[in-house]
């Protein structure tokens, strides 16, 4: 069996589901909202490599990987999981985010953030190709280089893939439950902008910044330029330039900032260590897309 739904993923070994899926499955009952989804376990990649006799040391590996096909029974199971996700979400036109989930990610001293691929706004017909793209990013030159810098052997870290219902957010961003600049644990920092969080995470925009004191709830604000936003369409992701009217106001009201702060404090208390959260807000509903320890 190659797939497991996110709610049940916590019962699987971390080597099979990866850190990203494990962290989300672990907090699924902690009064937070997480987009529903399923995990394609690391055993699927191992079976794909074995069936196609793929060896990452081969000179022709990249092209051979691209040309190789998933076993029919594996495709059938993935499509069955997608159909079940459609039923659970009630969305016949379901779009999903396909994210890497390796046990090498979110280590104490190495997050591997940005080293593996995430493919957004994927429809059913593109799902298998998106999964292969996530898998192939394990063997990319930049992932290997990062691992070497951190003195980590990627051979020890299989790759799971997390498939989640896509949220088309009004606002999204990242939160640190401690101030990474001053190292104060009394403050948390929210970086937020319009549209998909990729613009914030990748540094494509200068986001609004909110520093919240955990005890007093005092908010310090810094207006960002928020130069553009990324939205998903049936033809893929599109970058849209914001109007001055949008850029000149904060993307989050104080009520939303405090709601995000309360959620962050809750997750930090649950984990008992500072956390790094990716979030999305749609129609005033907050979604947790990722939660992990703050790393060096």
CATH code assigned at 99: 3.30.1490.20
The CATH number covering residue 269 comes to 3.30.470.20
Both 7 and 152 in one domain: the answer is yes
Q: Angle between the 72-89 and 127-137 helix axes, to the nearest 10 degrees?
A: 110
| pLDDT of the chain, 296 residues: tens digit per residue | 899 999 999 999 999 999 999 999 999 999 899 999 999 999 999 999 999 998 877 888 889 999 999 999 999 999 999 999 999 999 989 999 999 998 755 444 444 444 457 899 999 999 999 999 999 888 865 445 544 454 554 454 478 999 999 999 999 999 999 998 888 999 999 999 999 999 999 899 999 999 999 999 999 999 999 999 999 887 788 999 998 888 999 999 999 999 999 999 999 999 999 999 999 999 999 999 999 888 65
Q: What is the pLDDT of residue 26?
A: 94
Asked if 185 and 154 sit in the same domain, the reply is: no
The pLDDT assigned to 107 comes to 45
Q: What is the pLDDT of residue 105?
A: 54
Last residue of a domain, one of 100, 134, 165: 165
Question: Exposed e or buried b for every residue in 71-96, given b needs 16+ CB within 10 A?
Answer: eeebeebbeebbeebbeeeeeeebbb
Instruction: Return the H-helix or E-strand segment holding 39.
Output: strand 37-40
Within this chain, do residues 122 and 180 fall inside the same structural domain, yes or no?
Answer: no
Is there a single domain that holds both residue 10 and residue 99? yes
pLDDT of residue 293: 84
Burial 257-273 (b: 16+ CB within 10 A, else e): beebbebbbbbbeebee
Q: Is the pTM of this model over 0.95?
A: no
Give every strand in the sheet of 285-293, ordered side by side: 219-222, 208-213, 187-194, 171-176, 275-282, 285-293
228 within 8 A of 244, measured Cβ to Cβ: no
User: Are 159 and 192 found together in one domain?
Assistant: no
Q: Are 160 and 182 part of one and the same domain?
A: no
pLDDT of res. 108 = 45
Specify whether 147 is located in the same domain as 38. Answer: yes
Q: Which domain holds residue 280?
A: 171-293
Whether residues 237 and 115 share a domain: the answer is no
| Residue 140: per-residue pLDDT | 61
**Residue 75: CB partners within 8 Å, gap ≥ 6?**
128
Residues 56/32, Cβ–Cβ less than 8 Å: no
CA atoms within 13 A on the CB side of 99: 27
Domain limit, last residue, from 119, 136, 165: 165
The reply to whether 242 and 130 lie within a common domain is no
pLDDT of residue 295: 67
Q: Could you say which of 165, 185, 211 is where a domain stops?
A: 165
Number of domains comprising the chain: 2
Same-domain pairing of 154 and 191 = no
Domain identity same for 61 and 135: yes
Q: In sequence order, which residues have a C-beta less than 8 Å from that of residue 82 and are 6 or more positions away? A: 94, 96, 124, 127, 163
Nearest to 112 by CA among 20, 33, 249: 20
Residue 238 is predicted with a pLDDT of: 92
* 16, 141: one domain: yes
């Amino acid at each position: 069996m190659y797939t497991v739904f996110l709610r049940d993923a916590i019962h699987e070994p971390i080597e099979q589901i990866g850190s990203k899926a494990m962290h989300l499955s672990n907090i699924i009952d902690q009064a937070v909202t997480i987009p529903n989804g399923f995990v394609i376990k690391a055993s699927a990649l191992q079976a794909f490599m074995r069936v196609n006799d793929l060896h990452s040391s081969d000179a022709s590996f990249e092209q051979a990987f691209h040309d190789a096909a998933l076993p029919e029974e594996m495709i059938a199971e993935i499509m069955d999981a997608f159909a079940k996700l459609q039923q659970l979400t009630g969305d016949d036109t379901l779009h999903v985010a396909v994210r890497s989930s390796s046990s090498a990610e979110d280590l104490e001293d190495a997050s591997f953030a940005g080293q593996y691929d995430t493919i957004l706004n994927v429809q059913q017909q593109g799902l298998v190709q998106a999964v292969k793209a996530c898998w192939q990013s394990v063997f990319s030159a930049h992932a290997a280089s990062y691992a070497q810098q951190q003195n980590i052997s990627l051979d020890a870290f299989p790759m799971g893939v997390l498939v989640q219902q896509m949220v088309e957010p009004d606002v999204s961003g990242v939160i640190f439950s401690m101030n990474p600049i001053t190292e104060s644990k009394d403050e948390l920092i929210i970086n937020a902008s319009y549209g998909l969080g990729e613009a914030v995470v990748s540094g494509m925009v200068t986001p609004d910044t909110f520093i919240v004191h955990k005890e007093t709830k005092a908010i310090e604000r810094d207006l960002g330029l928020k130069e553009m936003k990324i939205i998903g369409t049936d033809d893929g992701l599109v970058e849209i330039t914001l109007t001055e009217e949008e850029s000149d106001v904060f993307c989050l009201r104080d009520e939303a900032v405090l709601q995000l702060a309360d959620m962050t404090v809750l997750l930090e208390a649950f984990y008992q260590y500072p956390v790094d959260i990716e979030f999305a807000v749609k129609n005033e509903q907050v979604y947790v897309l990722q939660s992990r320890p703050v790393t060096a």
